[in-house]
Amino acid sequence: MKKNKLMVFTATLLLSSAGFVSTVSADVTLKHGYIDVPPSRAVLCKTTIPNSNNIKFNKNCGPVQYEPQSVEGLKGFPEGGPEDGKIASGGNETFSALNEQNADRWHKVAMKSGENTFKWTLTAKHSTTSWRFFITKQNWDVNKPLTRNSFDLTPFCQQNDNGKIPTETVEINCNIPERSGYQVILGVWDIADTGNAFYQVIDAEFKK
């Protein structure tokens, strides 16, 4: 009798463990993505971008060089979400190097105001509330960490998906307001069925 009870207990434990592993594994593989057009700060930390002969990379980025798709934090920006000074990392301590900020820290991509296309590449698709884009104020302080006061807190571009599952790539056409010099664009991918969002910042140099 004791032997039978032990066998039942062991089988139950194994099944429970299998279910736990399956759940964790599924959670780890979901909900990832990054902006690669124009390339974000996190993407420019990678060293394996295809057709990158003319791209200058960011250095000393820490772990984000291996997983630019994982810059995930609490959603609700600007009312909630990552705290000031940690916006670039999404409040995720693993990627805190992204929060470093001065005029020369990051490579800048050339951009122009007006019509632009942003492309998110998703390593896993997930039910989506919206895609939103913010830009720094013209005279923001480039030598201080990014805060809410650095940005115009009204998105200059927004696409509402109302919970649908996106494709592996999402292209969004946006009209960027007039800017000049070094500006930062913040892209936010709001997830519908979790409390999180994905954050990507783009370091851009605007020329007339």
pLDDT in tens, 36-51: 999 999 999 986 665 5
Q: Does 19 lie in the same domain as 93?
A: no
Query: In the 8-state DSSP scheme, what is residue 85?
Result: T
Q: Does 72 lie in the same domain as 142?
A: yes
Q: Does 63 lie in the same domain as 74?
A: yes
Q: Does 35 lie in the same domain as 101?
A: yes
- Which pLDDT does position 52 carry in this prediction? 55
Q: Does 12 lie in the same domain as 107?
A: no
Q: Does 183 lie in the same domain as 116?
A: yes
pTM (two decimals): 0.83
Q: C-alpha angle with apex 134: 136 to 117, nearest 5 degrees?
A: 115
From 105, 107, 29, 33, select the one nearest 68 (Cα to Cα).
33
Q: What is the pLDDT of residues 9-26, one digit of tens each?
A: 344 434 333 333 333 333
Instruction: Identify the domain containing residue 10 by its residue range.
Output: 1-30
pLDDT band at residue 207 under the 50/70/90 scheme: confident
Task: Report the alpha-carbon distance of residue 142 to residue 100 in Å, rounded.
Answer: 11
